[in-house]
């Protein structure tokens, strides 16, 4: 699965948790840029993404995830 295929699915997970789609996701996007994305919703988004791709993140990866780019990279490596 390429990044271009991953991104729309990730966006769907964000929309499902945040209950709005008033944002754009790029590699540089952080919680600061998206309304409602904070500690609690982050945990829900992570679990939604895990479900969508049928993967399980490692705590060590989550610990160092700082933006959407990091998230996409981790999904890619989990899928391989």
Partner 1 sequence: MKFIKQLRESIENNSKQNALCVNGVFYTYQDFAIEISKIRNAINNTISSSEKLIGLVTNDDLQTYASIIALWFEGKAYVPVNPSSPIERNNQVFELTETKYVLDSSKTSIYKELNVIATSSLDEVQVSLSPKEVSDNDLAYILFTSGTTGLPKGVPITYKNVDALVNAIDHEPEFNLNTSDRCLQMFELTFDFSVVTYLFPFLAGACIYTIPKNTIKYFYIFKLIKEQRLTVLTMVPSIINYLRPYFPEINAPDVRYCSFGGGALHSDIAKEWSDCLPNCKIFNYYGPTEFTVYSGFYPYHKETHLKSHNGIIAIGTPQKDCSYLVVNENNEEVPLQVTGELCLGGPQVTPGYWKNEERNAESFFVKSENGKDVRYYKTGDLCFKDESGDFLYVGRADFQVKIRGYRVELAEIEFHAKEKSVKKVNMVALDITNKLGNAELGLAIEGESFDTEEIIEYMKTKMPDYMVPGHIRFVKEFPHSINGKIDRKKLRTYFDIN
Residues in the site for partner 1, rule: CB under 8 A? 19, 31-32, 36, 38-44, 47, 58-60, 62-63, 65
Q: Is 18 in contact with 44 (CB distance < 8 Å)?
A: no
The residue (of 4 and 31) whose beta carbon lies closer to partner 1 is: 31
Contacts of 1 (CB under 8 A, 6+ apart): 76, 79
User: Tokens representing 22?
Assistant: 């008033």
State in angstroms the smallest separation of the CB of 68 from partner 1.
13
Strands (E), the chain: none
Please give the biggest Cα pair distance in the chain.
Answer: 32
State in angstroms the smallest separation of the CB of 1 from partner 1.
23
State in angstroms the smallest separation of the CB of 19 from partner 1.
7
The residue (of 4 and 63) whose beta carbon lies closer to partner 1 is: 63
């Amino acid at each position: 699965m390429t990044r271009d295929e991953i991104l729309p699915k990730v966006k769907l997970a964000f929309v499902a948790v945040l209950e709005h789609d008033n944002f754009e996701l790029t590699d540089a996007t952080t919680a600061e840029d998206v309304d409602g994305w904070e500690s609690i919703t982050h945990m829900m988004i992570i679990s939604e993404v895990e479900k969508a791709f049928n993967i399980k993140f490692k705590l060590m990866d989550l610990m160092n995830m700082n933006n959407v780019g990091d998230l996409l990279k981790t999904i890619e490596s989990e899928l391989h």
